[in-house]
Amino acid sequence: MNFFCNDLEGAELDQGAELVPDEVQEAVRTLLRWVGENPEREGLRDTPRRYAKAWLEYCQGYEEDPGAHLARTFEEVAGYDEIVLLKDIPFHSHCEHHLAPITGKASIAYLPKNRVVGISKLARVLHGYARRLQIQERLTAEVAQAIWDHLQPAGVAVVIEAQHGCMTGRGVKTPGVGMVTSRLRGCFLDDKSSRAEILSLMGY
């Protein structure tokens, strides 16, 4: 759903000609009032529109099928059968429980059988799933599954290490804690030495 294109009735037209429906802005004003703020004061007057637009950006992944980035493969390297690893890719996401930021890095690897993709596409898959409301386990699994399904490799390994805003700025208030999740498929799951090799290449 894209509020910029749909549901324009009653929407406010601002300088950038970007439309955010009144009901969305009103919801943000309600939240601001609830936490003790005055949404009419100058500094907050435009905040509901900005906030709504920011959330469209945070959730841009719903507008795409991340796996589609893996459709174009390189025939000329079809015989390449060594590990391909994209290491420490920074990403941002938001947790579905508190809508708080998740920031971290992901390492994504696969052992090609026939299909090799442009390396940037692995990062595109990651961002496509990260720009949604997530839990880290599902993000990790979705990235691995997309690569497994589209490239049909001999193995895939995804390891994500991230910090959760809902644990730092609120709740248990424990900063500096990294959550590590992994999803291994194929040879990286079944074969001990392949698993040890990929985890060591990733720095684990």
Ligand X SMILES: Nc1nc2c(ncn2[C@@H]2O[C@H](COP(=O)(O)OP(=O)(O)OP(=O)(O)O)[C@@H](O)[C@H]2O)c(=O)[nH]1
Q: Do the annotations mark residue 59 as ligand-binding? A: no
Q: Do the annotations mark residue 166 as ligand-binding? A: yes
Structural contact between residues 199 and 159, judged by C-beta atoms closer than 8 angstroms: yes
Does 141 sit near ligand X (CB under 6 A)?
Answer: no
Can you tell me which residue has the tokens 């208030």? 173
Rounded least distance, CB 87 to ligand X, Å: 21
Does 127 qualify as catalytic in the annotation? no
- Binder among 41, 72, 87, 97 for ligand X (CB under 6 A): 97
Site for Zn ion in 150-169 (CB under 5 A): 166
Does 166 qualify as catalytic in the annotation? yes
Does 116 sit near ligand X (CB under 6 A)?
Answer: no
- Phi/psi at 108 (5° precision): -125, 125
- Contact of residue 123 among ligand X, Zn ion, none (CB under 5-8 Å per partner type): none
Q: Which of 69, 95, 127, 150 is catalytic?
A: 95
Does 172 sit near ligand X (CB under 6 A)?
Answer: yes
- Give the Cα separation of 26 and 13 in Å (integer): 15
- Phi/psi at 119 (5° precision): -65, -30
Among 99, 104, 193, 204, which residue's Cα sits nearest to residue 155? 193
Does 118 sit near ligand X (CB under 6 A)?
Answer: no
64 is written with which tokens? Answer: 């795409």
Does 126 sit near ligand X (CB under 6 A)?
Answer: no
- Give the Cα separation of 131 and 125 in Å (integer): 10
62 is written with which tokens? Answer: 């719903």
Rounded least distance, CB 126 to ligand X, Å: 15
What distance separates the 2 farthest-apart alpha carbons in the chain? 63
Active site residues: 95-98, 136, 164, 166
Q: Which residues contribute to the site for ligand X (CB under 6 A)?
A: 95, 97, 135-137, 164, 166-167, 171-172
